[in-house]
Amino acid sequence: MQADYTLKVLDLKKHYGDVHAVDGVSFDVQTGEVFTMLGPNGAGKTTTLEILEGIRVPDSGELVLFGDVMSRVSRAAKQRMGVLLQDGGFEPHLKVKEIIQLFASFFSSSRPISEVLDLVALTEKAGAQVRNLSGGQKQRMAVGVALVNDPDLIFLDEPTTGLDPQARRNLWDVIERLKADGKTLILTTHYMEEAEELSDAICIMDHGKIIASGSPHDLTASLGHETLIEFRWDDPPNDAVRVLDACCEQVRLEGERVTMETSMLPKTMAQLLQWSEETAVPLRDLRVRQPNLEDVFLSMTGRTLRE
């Protein structure tokens, strides 16, 4: 049996000029888990991923991949890896099956072409040229290409961006199936619910460093037992923030959107409603929810993930 870890990353660094894109990143990915990397653009997530995919060479640091120590991803390791690039491209004038065949030829062993086509439900489109495929079909073919060598470690870089809900669901199924087969997956995504639903482990990056990691539950639980109250207001009185701040742990403002963090929901809620009645400020779109990964990031950096 394999070591517990498919991948260990130790103090990885990469800089471009003065910019330290990856500034001493370390983490472990256990065999058979779905590991998700989160972070806003420019956090170093992409560079880290590109190093792990073997596209880039790190300045320093160490990788332990499939039990072998290396400073950069070796070709032998790539034999066991599959990568779904974010908006990767294919020669538009080749047919689907020709593309799969081409990529199969790069590996010392690969799945039969028909099996790959079947896996991503493209058997009917096998003879179609890439340029004539729809966006969803193209993405499925890219998944097929990533799986052509029956890899043990699979990178999925924003696999569902731009897909319709049905296509996204289908991809989730594929991921679940790979996980059931004991494959290790490293994922990045912009969708919090996707990360929460699929991931076993998550690391959040910012400014080239990992600022938090753990299971989705651990991460949200780290915020304590707080509950969030969200609403929008139009024209609050001047002292509104000061008043509301007094009745909860923290108030955050994003334009006309207000988020209150509280560990005593009934009390805060009562005070809020009372204030609303007294000042005649309507609480539009009022809702109460549990914190998610977005809030974890926000509470640690004061910024949102999406920007």
Partner 1 sequence: MKGIFALARAHVIAGIREKDTLFWFLVFPLFLLTILTLIFGRLGQDPEIHFTIALIDREAASSDAAFSPSAIVRELFSSLTLSETPGERPLFSLRTPASTDALDAFQEKEIEQLRRGNRAAVLVIPPGFDRNVLQSLQAGGQSPQPSVEAGLQLYMSQTSVASETAAAIIEQILAGLDRNLLAQMGLYDEAASIDVVTEWTQQEQADSEVPYVNYVLPSIVLMGFFTTGLFGVPGTILYNREGKVLRQYWVTPLSVRQYLLGFGVGHVIFCAIQFALVLLLGRLAFGATLQFSSWHTVLLLILASATFLAFGFLITSFARSANGGMAIANILNMPMMFLSGMFFPIVGLPIFLMILVYANPVTYVLEALRQSVGIQAGTLMPWPWPVLVPLLWILVCSAVAVRRLRWDVGS
Question: Residue 52 CB, nearest distance to partner 1 (Å)?
Answer: 10
Nearer to partner 1, 39 or 291 (CB): 39
CA distance 112 to 138: 20
How many residues are there in the chain? 307
Q: Is the dihedral of CA 36, 39, 41, 43 positive or negative?
A: negative
Nearer to partner 1, 85 or 201 (CB): 85
Question: Residue 158 CB, nearest distance to partner 1 (Å)?
Answer: 13
Say if strands 153-157 and 81-84 run parallel, antiparallel, or are unpaired: parallel
**Single residue of 87, 193, 254, 277 touching partner 1 by CB under 8 A:** 87
Q: Which of these ranges, 62-70, 92-100, 197-205, 290-298, lies near partner 1 under the rule CB under 8 A?
A: 92-100
Structure tokens at 61: 């640091």
Residue 126 binds partner 1, judged by CB under 8 A: no
The size of the interface with partner 1 (CB under 8 A), counted in residues, is: 32
Is residue 204 within 8 A of residue 297, CB to CB? The reply is yes
**Single residue of 10, 102, 241, 283 touching partner 1 by CB under 8 A:** 102
The residue among 204, 226, 228, 227 whose CA lies nearest residue 214 is: 204
Interacting positions 44-63 with partner 1 (CB under 8 A): 53-56
CA–CA distances in Å: residue 31 to residues 207, 238, 262: 27, 55, 38
What stretch of H or E contains 179? helix 165-180
Kindly list the residues in this chain that would bind partner 1 in the complex (CB under 8 A). 53-56, 75-76, 78-79, 81, 83, 85, 87-94, 98, 101-103, 105-108, 129, 142, 145, 149, 155
